[in-house]
Amino acid sequence: MSYKGRFRVWRGDASGGALADFEVEVNEGEVVLDVLHRIQATQAPDLAVRWNCKAGKCGSCSAEIDGRPRLLCMTRMSVFDPGDVVTVTPMRTFPVLRDLVTDVSFNYAKAREVPSFTPPAGLAPGEYRMAQVDVERSQEFRKCIECFLCQDTCHVVRDHDENKGAFAGPRFLMRVAELEMHPLDVADRVPAAQDEHGLGRCNITKCCTEVCPEGIKITDNALIPMKERVADRRYDPLVWLGRTITRRRD
Amino acid sequence: MTEIERHDYDVLVIGAGGAGLRAAIEARERGLRTAIVCKSLFGKAHTVMAEGGCAAAMGNVNEHDSWQVHFRDTMRGGKFLNSWRMAELHAKEAPDRVWELETYGALFDRTPDGRISQRHFGGHTYPRLAHVGDRTGLELLRTLQQRIVALQQADHAETGDFEARLRVFAECTITELLTDPDAGTEHHGAVAGAFGYWRESGRHVQFSAPAVVLATGGIGKSFQVTSNSWEYTGDGHALALRAGASLIDMEFVQFHPTGMVWPPSVKGILVTEGVRGDGGVLRNSDGERFMFGYVPDVFKGQYAQSEDEADRWYDDQENNRRTPDLLPRDEVARAINTEVKEGRGSPHGGVYLDIASRMPADEIRRRLPSMYHQFKELADVDITAEQMEVGPTCHYVMGGIAVDPDTGQSRVPGLFAAGECAGGMHGSNRLGGNSLSDLLVFGRRAGLGAADYVAGLDRRPAVREADVAAAAAMTLAPFDAHPAGAGGENPYTLHAELQRVMNDLVGIIRTESEVVAALDRLAELRARVHDVVVEGHRQYNPGWHLTLDLRNMLMVSEAVASSALLRTESRGGHTREDHPGLDAEWRHRVLVTHCVRDGSGLGSGAAVVLRTAVEPAEREPMRPDLLALFDLSELEKYYTPAELAGHPDAGRSAALHPEGGTA
Ligand SMILES: Cc1cc2nc3c(=O)[nH]c(=O)nc-3n(C[C@H](O)[C@H](O)[C@H](O)COP(=O)(O)OP(=O)(O)OC[C@H]3O[C@@H](n4cnc5c(N)ncnc54)[C@H](O)[C@@H]3O)c2cc1C
Ligand code: SF4
Ligand code: SF4
Ligand code: FES
């Protein structure tokens, strides 16, 4: 069941690099990460690649396979023909540190810009009551493993470094939506979504949804509903006023 | 040598899993300047992989639950070897720690009346595990991560600097703790800081801190078949040993009964116990639910004896006993091992785990989404239609750093430990779900302990420059050109050999001759590690990182093997084929590992592995009011008569108490 697979792996660092060719054994049931590990163990011990869980749960092993943003540990070799050359490159949107490892600090900086969960005053621990149907919307977004593949793929920042300052990216716009839809969060998050996190730059192409390994409907369930909330308020300030009042009352 | 980057903090937390983050939150909330260091990116620690849930006796689903019941379950699961004080604190405080997570923004699955839902798990009398589908660890870790961010935002609002009081040093590996022999006690110099390197650049970094909390997780990467990630190289265990702390219970390694077995590249990846908690059952190749034949004497009377009763139990726990599919993990893992050995296994050397025939497909996808995904993507198996193939996988280490239960402090002043790297809480076998709660309860306590310790110091221990230089030299030795003639060793090859040795010779079933052989092999590997030569340079070099991790793996593996050799009985995560029974005389003894620094055979070459020695000591007897929570008849299965003289029922006839009546 084994064959010699042909791989082209980008090797280099911030100063530059190139694709390196490898011929390496591939066995039944393996994923791309297994093959990269074999390259490490037998041919290039210093090949840099991030990983942790090897089961699609931690979001560490993000890279691009034949130009598509993917998790290395969840891409099975069986999707390729034995004759294919498999090309593995680092995520393009983030600066390369070494080989397949990129500097993803952009994402951690964006995470800090979203104000945290704000519970109602006076609600003691243990007294939180929420219905399952109400938590489910935010729970979908909390499945996010922070692989940052959606951030990598979004065209607003993919080849536009200049947009990075004003755009939180799908992952963190979704975080805003998650808190906005949290049944007990009392902060108003709609104006900032548009003004500070750059929701207006998203033109709902759904590329982020397509690459999300967790299958989260980022665009349909988080971004579009947020856009609707923004639109409601823009056109009708009274709606906004009414909303804040009822929100405070319940 | 280039200038070393230096930082000064009040508390240094090593590890950004549940335990480390909870400790850091506590230290920061007590006003201390706190640093968190971790080997991976922030938010990727092993805790993120936990699936099933977090045990806490909130009584949301069954109101009969209480801390006493949880305490008893924990002690039974650990076969009465647990630190009873830790088990007590854990059972009492876990509900508050879970509720606190909701105030940080966590969204657990709900009961119909809107409270946190709780699920069944092995060894827990009542449905007790707070959960979010089968991704509870992700929810827990992300919540704590977001709490850290919230605290940083508060600091930013106040000082203009997010990192004024709480900073995360991600992808930074600590290789040595630094102590000050002129501070601390007569025998143990106090902690003064830690030394490490940035994975990205390979540059050195040194922290000064009067208190260090170790929260580095487990050791599973020394075994071939494991659910653990590359991070689990026992660093905290080894760092603590080298700094003068001791380890306990290192013979107890948990093999989770259900890991994936096929295809080979995913062998060992975990299949959550939640599958069985929610109704999945184990079957052999004859289709038989074999667990009914494996209820051990100590648990007789507590588990269902027929399939009908077991199936009724899911809905009515008052009138039925639980299914033996949910026996503690050590029992289930051994049972699977036996079934396979006796020829009733599945094609790929496991047994079957069946949820497909027990629940509608939609329900399975809703309750176990990541299991569905995992099997579909990695094994081409649709668990809503087919049975899974599963077998034991190295999962968790019960043994760890010996700490004071209340504060988490080791015997080295200023050195604290919490989470999987700390020992005692789980005795010889951990119950599922008791780790996530352990992280929260003892993470917080270690943070508090560290804060109190720092507040009580009149002078900060000082880092010695010679120690820093030695630590730096140690990390760079593997780059040194090798003496002409000898071929260098490949770190990946050594690692693979170590994993085979531990798996085959110190694995789920052990015998004296095999463990002795393992110790010999470990000695060889210790010698060969001196000859490792690292290729490339210091920038993000995994071969180099592995070489440094091997120092710790080899040290901890020796501790496991030596302890396993000494304990001549079978209990929990330690099964000796040549000593198959429980032995009450071993219950009250604890095996303590410490580091031997006699220098014999330890050159100044590359990657020096220090030796360890193991000695027996006595465990502290359980407090009488806690002992009285158990029926005498149950305790008699574990304790020597002399130890039970203080029990309120002592002297009365044990026959008064029906078996299993405590549940
Ligand atoms: C697949 C799986 C499923 C599980 N499911 C459950 C469950 O449902 N319920 C449950 O209760 N338990 C479960 N467990 C067990 C539980 O997840 C772990 O025991 C627990 O998460 C350990 O947490 P921790 O905080 O001690 O360490 P971890 O979360 O592992 O964190 C360790 C941290 O230490 C850092 N570190 C290690 N060494 C160094 C070093 N030298 N320098 C710097 N940093 C270092 C790492 O980078 C990491 O950040 C599961 C475990 C696995 C593997
Ligand atoms: S839908 Fe919006 S956020 Fe997603 S990729 Fe397209 S532009 Fe980016
Ligand atoms: S939303 Fe999906 S693609 Fe984006 S970071 Fe989260 S898991 Fe990854
Ligand atoms: S290694 Fe965790 S997602 Fe791939």
Task: Kindly provide the ipTM of the predicted complex, given to two decimals.
Answer: 0.94
Q: How does residue B357 score in pLDDT terms, banded at 50, 70 and 90?
A: very high
Q: Which residues of chain B have a CB within 8 Å of the CB of A41?
A: 490, 492-493, 496
Range B269-293 burial, b when 16+ CB lie within 10 A, else e = bbbbbbbbbbbbbbbbeeeebbbbe
Contact A34/B at CB under 8 A: yes
Q: Relative to the alpha carbon of A217, which ligand is closest?
A: 3
Burial (0-12, 13-18, 19+ Cβ within 10 Å), A50: buried
Catalytic residue among B28, B119, B128, B276: B276
Distance CA B636, CA B616 (A): 23
- State how far the alpha carbon of B440 is from the alpha carbons of B94, B254, B379, in Å: 7, 21, 34
**A120-155: per-residue pLDDT in tens?**
999 999 999 999 999 999 999 999 999 999 999 999
Residue of A nearest to B539 (CA): A98
Q: Considering A102, A135, A157, which residue would you say is the last residue of a domain?
A: A102
Query: In terms of Cα–Cα distance, which of B528, B570, B551 is closest to B296?
Result: B570
Q: Say if residue A142 is in the same domain as residue A119.
A: yes
- Nearest CB neighbour to A145, from listed B102, B138, B266: B138
Q: Say if residue A17 is in the same domain as residue A52.
A: yes
B540 and A97: CB-CB below 8 Å?
A: yes
B200 and A97: CB-CB below 8 Å?
A: yes
Q: What is the CATH number of the domain that holds A19?
A: 3.10.20.30
Burial (0-12, 13-18, 19+ Cβ within 10 Å), A241: exposed
Structural domain contains residue A246: no
Q: Say if residue A183 is in the same domain as residue A235.
A: yes
What single string gives the DSSP state of each residue in B306-349? SHHHHHHHTT-TTTSPBPGGGS-HHHHHHHHHHHHHTT---TTS
How many structural domains comprise chain A?
2
Q: Does B606 score more than 80 pLDDT?
A: no
Q: Does B532 score more than 80 pLDDT?
A: yes
Q: Does A104 score more than 90 pLDDT?
A: yes
Distance CA B564, CA B512 (A): 9
Structural domain contains residue A55: yes
Check residue A241 and give its pLDDT: 62
Q: Considering A50, A80, A102, which residue would you say is the last residue of a domain?
A: A102
pLDDT above 90 covers what percent of chain B? Answer: 85
Strand B253-260 to B189-198 pairing = unpaired
Q: Which of residues 89-118 of B touch A (CB under 8 A)?
A: 95-96, 99-100, 102-105, 107, 109-110, 112-115, 117
- Please enumerate in sequence order all residues whose Cβ is within 8 A of that of B469, keeping only pairs 6 or more positions apart, or say none: B1
Average pLDDT of span B304-324: 92
Check residue B429 and give its pLDDT: 95
Check residue B654 and give its pLDDT: 47
What is the amino acid identity at position B297?
D
Q: Does A250 score more than 70 pLDDT?
A: no
Tokens representing residue B105 in the block:
């923004």
Tokens representing residue B350 in the block:
């496991």
Residue recorded with tokens 């689990």? B232
Distance CA A54, CA A31 (A): 9
Check residue B531 and give its pLDDT: 87
Check residue B657 and give its pLDDT: 47
Contact A50/B at CB under 8 A: yes
Whether ligand 3 lies within 6 angstroms of the CB of A150 is answered as: yes
* B276 a catalytic residue: yes
Dist. CA B193 → ligand 3 center (Å): 37
Residue of B nearest to A37 (CA): B492
- Total residues found in chain A within this entry: 250
Check residue B186 and give its pLDDT: 86
Q: Say if residue A73 is in the same domain as residue A121.
A: no
Structural domain contains residue A245: no
Dist. CA B358 → ligand 1 center (Å): 32
Range in A5-9, B601-605, B645-649 with the lowest mean pLDDT: B601-605
Average pLDDT of span A196-218: 96
Q: Does A239 score more than 90 pLDDT?
A: no
A126 and B543: CB-CB below 8 Å?
A: no
User: Which of A53, A73, A146, A173 should be mutated for ligand 3, with most atoms under 8 A from CB?
Assistant: A146
Three-state secondary-structure class, residue B509: coil
Whether ligand 1 lies within 6 angstroms of the CB of B140 is answered as: no
Residue recorded with tokens 């990657």? B607
Q: Say if residue A206 is in the same domain as residue A112.
A: yes
**B544-586: per-residue pLDDT in tens?**
999 999 999 999 999 999 999 999 999 999 999 999 999 999 9
Check residue B652 and give its pLDDT: 67
Q: Considering A102, A120, A138, which residue would you say is the last residue of a domain?
A: A102
Check residue A234 and give its pLDDT: 73
Structural domain contains residue A250: no
Dist. CA A111 → ligand 4 center (Å): 20
**CA-B40 nearest atom, ligand 1:** 47
Range in A35-39, A63-67, A98-102, B261-265 with the lowest mean pLDDT: B261-265
Catalytic residue among B70, B256, B567, B619: B256
Q: What is the CATH number of the domain that holds A179?
A: 1.10.1060.10
Q: Does B162 score more than 80 pLDDT?
A: yes
Q: What is the pTM of this model?
A: 0.94
Q: How does residue B605 score in pLDDT terms, banded at 50, 70 and 90?
A: very low
Structural domain contains residue A144: yes
- Nearest CB neighbour to A47, from listed B109, B117, B542: B542
What is the amino acid identity at position B621?
P
Check residue B662 and give its pLDDT: 41
Structural domain contains residue A23: yes
Angle (CA) B13-A100-B267 rounded to 5° is 75
Residue of A nearest to B366 (CA): A136
Q: Say if residue A208 is in the same domain as residue A143.
A: yes
Q: Say if residue A63 is in the same domain as residue A165.
A: no
**B interface test, pick of A128, A181, A186 with most B CB neighbours within 10 Å:** A128
Check residue A245 and give its pLDDT: 58
Dist. CA A73 → ligand 4 center (Å): 6
Q: Say if residue A231 is in the same domain as residue A117.
A: yes
Cβ-Cβ pairs closer than 8 A, A with B, add up to 174
- Nearest CB neighbour to B115, from listed A50, A129, A179: A129
Q: Which domain holds residue A116?
A: 105-239
B107 and A40: CB-CB below 8 Å?
A: no
**A145-194: per-residue pLDDT in tens?**
999 999 999 999 998 999 999 999 999 999 999 999 999 999 999 999 99
Query: In terms of Cα–Cα distance, which of B50, B395, B82, B49 is closest to B219?
Result: B395
Strand A85-89 to A3-13 pairing = parallel
Distance CA B640, CA B643 (A): 5
Check residue A235 and give its pLDDT: 63
Average pLDDT of span B94-101: 98
Q: What is the 3-state secondary structure (H, E, C) of A13-59?
A: ECCEEEEEEEEEEECCCCEHHHHHHHHHHHCCCCCCCCCCCCCCCCC
Q: Say if residue A113 is in the same domain as residue A233.
A: yes
- Nearest CB neighbour to A40, from listed B117, B534, B542: B542
**B401-439: per-residue pLDDT in tens?**
999 999 999 999 999 999 999 999 999 999 999 999 999
Q: Which residues of chain A have a CB within 8 Å of the CB of B133?
A: 139
Structural domain contains residue A36: yes
Q: How does residue A233 score in pLDDT terms, banded at 50, 70 and 90?
A: confident
**CA-A149 nearest atom, ligand 3:** 3
Contact between residue B134 and residue B5 where contact means Cβ atoms under 8 Å apart:
no
Q: Say if residue A169 is in the same domain as residue A152.
A: yes
Contact between residue B181 and residue B157 where contact means Cβ atoms under 8 Å apart:
no
Structural domain contains residue A248: no
A45 and B44: CB-CB below 8 Å?
A: no
Contact between residue A79 and residue A29 where contact means Cβ atoms under 8 Å apart:
no
Contact between residue B609 and residue B551 where contact means Cβ atoms under 8 Å apart:
yes
Q: What share of chain A is helix, strand, coil (3-state, %, to 5)?
A: 45, 15, 40
DSSP state of B35: E
Q: How does residue B604 score in pLDDT terms, banded at 50, 70 and 90?
A: very low
Q: Say if residue A96 is in the same domain as residue A119.
A: no
Q: Say if residue A111 is in the same domain as residue A211.
A: yes
Strand A62-65 to A85-89 pairing = antiparallel
Check residue A243 and give its pLDDT: 58
